[in-house]
């Protein structure tokens, strides 16, 4: 059971480089999410997609773009990486109903020098 798969697991970038984080889920979930985790802060929502073909901004969307490629895949792109984007990024998916839990990937640890 793969669940939610994120690639890569680790990445080091230089300031100004671009990068796409990939996320795929095999649970046929409608909704997908991207979060970032920073020390001393809760998981913060970057972008989410309530269904295939739709995306919406979360709490901290600046500097990021997303693509819901199909029902399975939801990618996060950093166009011009900045040191402030050094973080651990988590992708999650769920059914849309409010009583359904989110299922998380293992995370991508991203360092920007």
Partner 1 sequence: ILNVEQSPQSLHVQEGDSTNFTCSFPSSNFYALHWYRWETAKSPEALFVMTLNGDEKKKGRISATLNTKEGYSYLYIKGSQPEDSATYLCAPRRADKLIFGTGTRLQVFP
Query: Which residues are at the interface with partner 1 (CB under 8 A)?
Result: 31, 35, 40-45, 48, 50, 56, 58-59, 90, 96, 98-107
Nearer to partner 1 by C-beta: 41 or 113?
41
Nearer to partner 1 by C-beta: 5 or 17?
5
Cβ-contact 107, 6 below 8 angstroms: yes
Place of tokens 């059914």: 95
Least distance (Å) between residue 7 CB and partner 1: 14
Q: Measured between alpha carbons, how far is 45 from 105 in angstroms, rounded to an integer?
A: 14
Least distance (Å) between residue 77 CB and partner 1: 21
């Amino acid at each position: 059971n793969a669940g939610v798969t994120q690639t890569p697991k680790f990445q080091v970038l230089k300031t100004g480089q671009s990068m796409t984080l990939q996320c795929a889920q095999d649970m046929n979930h409608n909704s997908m999410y991207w979060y970032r985790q920073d020390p001393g802060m809760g998981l913060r929502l970057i972008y989410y997609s309530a269904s295939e073909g739709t995306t919406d901004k979360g709490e901290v969307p600046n500097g990021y773009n997303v693509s819901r490629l199909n029902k399975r895949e939801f990618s996060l792109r950093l166009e011009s990486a900045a040191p402030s984007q050094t973080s651990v990024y988590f992708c999650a998916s769920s059914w849309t109903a409010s009583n359904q839990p989110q299922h998380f990937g293992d995370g991508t640890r991203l360092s920007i020098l």
